[in-house]
Chains A and B, each alone.
Chain A
Amino acid sequence: MAFSSLYEEKCPFTRDYNLIKGELKNIDDYDKTCIETALHGVNQMVLSEWGNNTACQIILVTDGSTGVGPMSLKESLATANQRSAKIPFPVPFSFPAKLHIICLTTASDPCFIKSKPLYQRLIDMTGYDGTISVQDTFSNEASVTSMFQKLAEEIYSTFKGTLKCGNLESKIILSPAPVPYTKVTDFDSQTYNLWDVLDVCGFVSVGDVGSPMAISRHLILPATSSSNKTEHVVKNEVDITDDDVMDDSKTPSFCVLLHGALRVENMAALVTVGENWFGFIYSWADSKKKSNLMLTILSPGSDAVPWLGDLNYLGSSDSFSSDQVGSFPVRPTEKRSYSQNGVVWIRQAGLQSDIQKILRHARKLPEKTQQFYKELNRLRKAAISLGFLDLLNGLAYIFEQECMQLPGTAHPDCALQLQHAADVLRKTQNRDIKYVIIPLQTNYTSS
């Protein structure tokens, strides 16, 4: 992407080297340096292509100048806190990103000396440790090349680690390499780093895991590990297989076993990936039916998945008495409003349907006596809490009207209970939520 006061996407994300090379020859000079504009563009470009949880590297190539006047980096940073929620300052980016700034100038350039703290502030704002590269001596092409090479080596390091399950283990590579994660919650901002050992804690059925939020996903590839294998044999295995020299694909790997078993059982393995940080390993197949072992890294903290409860308090049912062992999903102690049958009368329809429900029961008295009074008391209690006393009188009136409209075939209880309810509703001394309207005892009730 090229930028000035506007930005221009020169070519899409590609591995086509020649395409990139071709485009780089067609970059023109424009008006001024507006780094913020470029960063907005980067945000847009990455979000539309990769979404908001793919880790990216952003390399800003510039001459060490931060621009002048409005839209200069200095001005941008000074006003960063005054943006609207609709168009916030582009940094931190909407995705995990390291910003690397390459300045094609020398470290002693006064312009660079002035810019450096601004660059550093920008990098700090990303929340990840980016870099600023500059040359010590006057640049020639070779030194620029080496600067980029150094950066490339730094960026494209693979994650090598070990996948462990008790005494079983396998060397692995994670692709893409995971990055440290900074979690910001109310009153807390903490950066979490990954361990290089993924330690299996146990297993949960995929249905129970239920697609939790993942901050990133990584392919687990078994690594070539002849040294590990021999160590393994020495440790605890009687080798009764041929001792032929075998290629890696024929050396048993715990990864492959784990993958096979997880797939057959439709289970996922809970692993610790860092301090109080968890992930799930499971078998995953893309559309091409190529099955693979996948690691989903959860948001740091043992409370990452509400319906699994505290992940530190998961255990095997064998190790605890049965009254201590719960089941998935873990339910919150309190019900949410939508499962509480609460009263909301903000829209008239809500109140109307509550009243209609009572009237429907009223017409089916005495069979529905219980339901009638239950709904009546619910409405009455809510009306008292909301200070909506007119409603009680109104309802009493509606009941009396209902009595008069009753068909001749109606059960005598109908009229009696309706009149009873209306009388109680009108009594002001009963306007206490603890009071419960109880059905009138009638001679007909038992019949």
Chain B
Amino acid sequence: MAFSMHTKLYPANHKTVFVLDHTPYFGISCESPIEFEFLKARTPGFIPMTPISKSLWTSSVESAIEYCRIVWDLFPQGKLVRFIASDTVAHILNTWNQTQQNLTHVMNGMSLIGVPPPPPPLRSVNTPLDYTVLHGLRAAIEALSEVTDIQQEKIQSGVDGQKILNRGRVICITSARDNDSMKRLEDIFLSVLTQQNKVSSTESYRLLTIDHCHLVIINTFPINIESQVNNHPPKNLSPILTTEVHSIKAPQIPNKLSSLILDHYDLASTTVTGIPMKEEQNASSSANYDVEIFHASSAHTAILKGNASDSAAIRTIKEGLEYETTTLKWCTPRGVTGTELQNCTATFRITPVDVNSRPSLCLINFLLNGRAVMLEMPRKSGGKITSHLLAAHGGEIFIHTLCTARSVLEDPPSISEGCGGRVTDYRITDFGLLIKQNTLLPIKNKNPEDGVLPIQKIKTRLNRLTRYWPLTISSTLIFNLKQYFDPLPSLITKDRISDDEVFQCKKVIYNLISLESKMEPLHPLNTGLRVKGQKREEQYKAMWNELEMLLKNNLHSENHRSVYTCLLECHKFDFEDDKIAEKVELDEALNQLDNIGPGKPEPGDQQRASVIRATTDSPMSPPPLTTTAPPSSRAAPRSAPGGIYSTQRTLFDIFAQAQNNVKPKMEFVGRLNSEGNVAKLYPNLKGDDRGPREQMEVE
């Protein structure tokens, strides 16, 4: 059958109706007794039981149910099947509604209908009841003209009233006397179909005209009967009706439907061969088994169309069946699979053909337990290639078609060879943390009150979390000083922060102030990576600047603002201090705009700073990068005593000053005794004046 664009867009398999003959004739036995091996080995006194055989009805029901099992396993949605049993009336077992599209519903309906009624007595006085499959066929045509949910949706969303094509298929399992009665059946079907389309066109608000119907008639009979009905391949009885007839013995219906289903749903069969399995009776030995599965035929496009000789070698027609199966070899998984993304060009659901056989169950359980199986295909040229992967996801088993072809990405460059490839200090661990914090999970509520999709929410969140996010370790200080800043960075990037969290943030700021006041050097966590220009004041200055940047970029709410203000308040104090000191110069004014204006350091600090600098920094240390003002402007303060290393006003300056206001600090004795306000270090090393040493203590 051709698959044109139309058949692809408006497939006949969207709507299928099974019409099952429920007339008294179908109550007869198939005459195909079931053998019970386990009863044979009984003692001689055993009275043989009456042979059990399925009825024509049982055979047709189980075949139709099996057809549905495969369809619904492979296509959980959008491929609808309805059941209609026909005797004196049509019994409709389910609707197009998705809730009625499952085996349990259909099976329950079947049990209510029960076995076909007994044949009417031969000399019945009453007018004989009209037992015929035609009731069912008529109902089937009506069913096809009903709109399914998906069709309804498409009609409503369709642009410019674009018409959808309503195509469907009717599979009728019945029994006709001869070719003539079969021909009559087809003709009646066509006339009913035409009639129904007339009705539909007048009631188009609720019915769809049937643009095409594919009628598949399965004529069946017990095995001891020769049928007078011949097969005929699909023929177009009219532009809107294609019919075909298959005349087969009842036990063969399942096989017939198996080969038809491949056509109807564009499926293919794969036989997984060489599955090692323990013997049922003898657990110590194992034998190799085969399991046949069905799946969409596209899973094989690449391997079957690729190399003709390779594909010919793996395609065989299974004994007793009419279709080809592709044999692929089980490849015992090594180690843990599924931990890497395979280059997979297609995934489709699968279902085993013989769902309850031991080998099938064995393979299924293996997969459902979370293990994956690679399938190999041999190559004519020698060797073999891993062509597919079988794996279960969420209780459903899929076949993944792996890319077996040549890749256009041959010999790609490594990422380290490209832009940014030589940078070695990316904040990978920190980004890893960001990744973990933004791991996606399925959200159950499909109707968010605010109308914002969860995926949009997380994009907004990522935006917020990355407002200030330096890429490398050397471009940041505060993120290397986690022990001082936590939990501030993680709190400040939240969209809302509680008062308590505001307090925690402020505490971090206060703590830093106190650390600075104690002149504690900040120890970056990433030791070995020396941040350049780390004189202590500069370190603090860079830290404050960066903190200001972080906070300024994260003003998501009033509370965020209050944290920022907490920081700024200190800066404001800073400006005033500068004014009092009447040291405001042009560049300083500019700096104030950035809230990082340099101030005149408190004398005691200058003293101590210079002392520390003399001992820790080499004269070759580069100038601090964060010094925003041009050096020339620093000339004046630098020339001032102790002003060489003057820094910008920091929180500490303010803090310290505030403390001084409360309680004036005692001047360093060494300096009091010094010349030019520069204290000699360890004067006792040189001299013998031990007096001042006793008072040399840090306040």
Taking CB atoms, residues of chain B closer than 8 Å to A355 are: 36, 38
Contact B115–A347 (Cβ < 8 Å): no
B127 contacts A by Cβ under 8 Å: no
B9, B457, B475: the one contacting A315 at CB < 8 Å is: B457
Shortest Cβ gap from A76 to chain B (Å): 14
B86 contacts A by Cβ under 8 Å: no
Known: A256-B420, A296-B341. A385 touches B439 (CB 8 A): no
| Distance A282 CA – B125 CA, assembled complex (angstroms) | 80
| Distance A263 CA – B421 CA, assembled complex (angstroms) | 15
Q: How many residues of A contact B (CB 8 A)?
A: 160
Taking CB atoms, residues of chain A closer than 8 Å to B78 are: 186
A284 contacts B by Cβ under 8 Å: yes
A50, A212, A249, A265: the one contacting B419 at CB < 8 Å is: A249
| Distance A243 CA – B532 CA, assembled complex (angstroms) | 12
B591 contacts A by Cβ under 8 Å: no
B10, B35, B110: the one contacting A186 at CB < 8 Å is: B10
Known: A51-B405, A85-B1. A315 touches B443 (CB 8 A): yes
Contact A316–B438 (Cβ < 8 Å): yes
Known: A256-B421, A337-B355, A344-B62. A394 touches B52 (CB 8 A): yes
B357 contacts A by Cβ under 8 Å: yes
Contact A338–B73 (Cβ < 8 Å): yes
Contact B438–A202 (Cβ < 8 Å): yes
**Stretch from B224-232, B393-401, B517-525, B581-589 that touches the partner:** B393-401
Contact A202–B475 (Cβ < 8 Å): no
Contact A352–B38 (Cβ < 8 Å): yes
| Distance A252 CA – B344 CA, assembled complex (angstroms) | 32
| Distance A287 CA – B409 CA, assembled complex (angstroms) | 12
| Distance A309 CA – B61 CA, assembled complex (angstroms) | 34
Contact A314–B442 (Cβ < 8 Å): yes
Contact B73–A387 (Cβ < 8 Å): no
| Distance A116 CA – B297 CA, assembled complex (angstroms) | 35
Question: Interface range on chain B: under 10, 10 to 19, 20 to 34, or 35 or more?
Answer: 35 or more
B306, B342, B364, B475: the one contacting A240 at CB < 8 Å is: B475
| Distance A313 CA – B456 CA, assembled complex (angstroms) | 9
A350 contacts B by Cβ under 8 Å: yes
B102, B354, B389, B396: the one contacting A347 at CB < 8 Å is: B354
Shortest Cβ gap from B167 to chain A (Å): 10
Known: A313-B446, A342-B355. A261 touches B338 (CB 8 A): no
Shortest Cβ gap from B619 to chain A (Å): 19
| Distance A213 CA – B389 CA, assembled complex (angstroms) | 12
Taking CB atoms, residues of chain A closer than 8 Å to B49 are: 394, 397-398, 401
B458, B475, B549: the one contacting A319 at CB < 8 Å is: B458
A78 contacts B by Cβ under 8 Å: no
Known: A280-B341, A316-B461. A288 touches B395 (CB 8 A): no
Interface centre among A334, A338, A353 (most CB of B within 10 A): A338
Chain A 245-257 per-residue mask, 1 if CB under 8 angstroms from chain B, else 0: 0001111111111
Contact A264–B432 (Cβ < 8 Å): yes
Taking CB atoms, residues of chain A closer than 8 Å to B352 are: 338
Known: A212-B347, A385-B108. A320 touches B355 (CB 8 A): no
**Stretch from B40-48, B269-277, B481-489, B561-569 that touches the partner:** B40-48
A203 contacts B by Cβ under 8 Å: yes
Contact B344–A213 (Cβ < 8 Å): yes
| Distance A166 CA – B254 CA, assembled complex (angstroms) | 56
Taking CB atoms, residues of chain A closer than 8 Å to B307 are: 48
Shortest Cβ gap from A305 to chain B (Å): 8
Contact B35–A316 (Cβ < 8 Å): no
B663 contacts A by Cβ under 8 Å: no
Interface residues of A in 223-262 (CB under 8 A from B): 223-225, 236-243, 248-262
| Distance A315 CA – B455 CA, assembled complex (angstroms) | 6
A52 contacts B by Cβ under 8 Å: yes
Contact A325–B626 (Cβ < 8 Å): no
Taking CB atoms, residues of chain A closer than 8 Å to B3 are: 85, 88
Among residues of A, the one whose C-beta sits closest to the C-beta of B470 is: A237
Contact A248–B437 (Cβ < 8 Å): no
Shortest Cβ gap from B518 to chain A (Å): 24
Interface residues of B in 288-340 (CB under 8 A from A): 301-302, 305-308, 338-340
Contact A201–B115 (Cβ < 8 Å): no
Known: A286-B412, A352-B36, A433-B108. A338 touches B1 (CB 8 A): no
**Stretch from A105-113, A144-152, A266-274, A437-445 that touches the partner:** A266-274
Shortest Cβ gap from B669 to chain A (Å): 37
Interface residues of A in 336-393 (CB under 8 A from B): 336-340, 342-353, 355-356, 359, 381-382, 384-391
Known: A251-B419, A315-B455. A345 touches B10 (CB 8 A): no
Taking CB atoms, residues of chain A closer than 8 Å to B364 are: 338-339
A25 contacts B by Cβ under 8 Å: no
A242, A320, A398: the one contacting B445 at CB < 8 Å is: A320
Chain A 204-222 per-residue mask, 1 if CB under 8 angstroms from chain B, else 0: 1111011111100101011
Contact B347–A390 (Cβ < 8 Å): no
B76 contacts A by Cβ under 8 Å: yes
A51, A83, A222, A323: the one contacting B345 at CB < 8 Å is: A51
A81 contacts B by Cβ under 8 Å: yes
Contact B462–A52 (Cβ < 8 Å): no
| Distance A224 CA – B420 CA, assembled complex (angstroms) | 9
Contact B356–A248 (Cβ < 8 Å): no
Contact B50–A165 (Cβ < 8 Å): no
B84 contacts A by Cβ under 8 Å: no
B69 contacts A by Cβ under 8 Å: yes
Shortest Cβ gap from B468 to chain A (Å): 5
Shortest Cβ gap from A218 to chain B (Å): 8
Interface centre among A211, A318, A327, A329 (most CB of B within 10 A): A211
Contact B107–A385 (Cβ < 8 Å): yes
B195 contacts A by Cβ under 8 Å: no
Taking CB atoms, residues of chain B closer than 8 Å to A327 are: 441-442
Contact B455–A314 (Cβ < 8 Å): yes
Known: A253-B420, A313-B453, A313-B454. A47 touches B38 (CB 8 A): no
Among residues of A, the one whose C-beta sits closest to the C-beta of B474 is: A241
Contact A308–B415 (Cβ < 8 Å): no
B66 contacts A by Cβ under 8 Å: yes
Interface residues of B in 443-479 (CB under 8 A from A): 443-446, 453-455, 457-459, 461-472, 474-477
B404 contacts A by Cβ under 8 Å: yes
Contact A252–B462 (Cβ < 8 Å): no
Interface residues of B in 45-84 (CB under 8 A from A): 45-47, 49-50, 52-55, 57-58, 61-63, 65-66, 69, 72-73, 76, 78
B150 contacts A by Cβ under 8 Å: yes
Contact B391–A211 (Cβ < 8 Å): yes
Taking CB atoms, residues of chain B closer than 8 Å to A431 are: 114
Interface centre among A50, A202, A224 (most CB of B within 10 A): A202
Interface centre among B114, B308, B345, B477 (most CB of A within 10 A): B345
B37 contacts A by Cβ under 8 Å: yes
Contact A336–B454 (Cβ < 8 Å): no
Taking CB atoms, residues of chain B closer than 8 Å to A388 are: 54-55, 58
Known: A211-B400, A314-B454, A344-B356. A336 touches B115 (CB 8 A): no
Q: List 10 A-B contacts (CB under 8 A).
A: A48-B305, A84-B2, A175-B412, A221-B419, A238-B470, A240-B531, A251-B420, A261-B435, A338-B355, A397-B50
If A200-B462, A308-B442, A319-B457 are given as contacts, then 8 extra A-B residue pairs at C-beta distance below 8 Å, sorted by A number, are: A47-B305, A167-B463, A221-B419, A224-B419, A237-B470, A249-B423, A269-B435, A343-B356
Which 8 pairs, one residue from A and one from B, show the smallest C-beta to C-beta distance? A253-B420, A51-B405, A315-B454, A166-B466, A329-B394, A307-B393, A166-B462, A290-B414
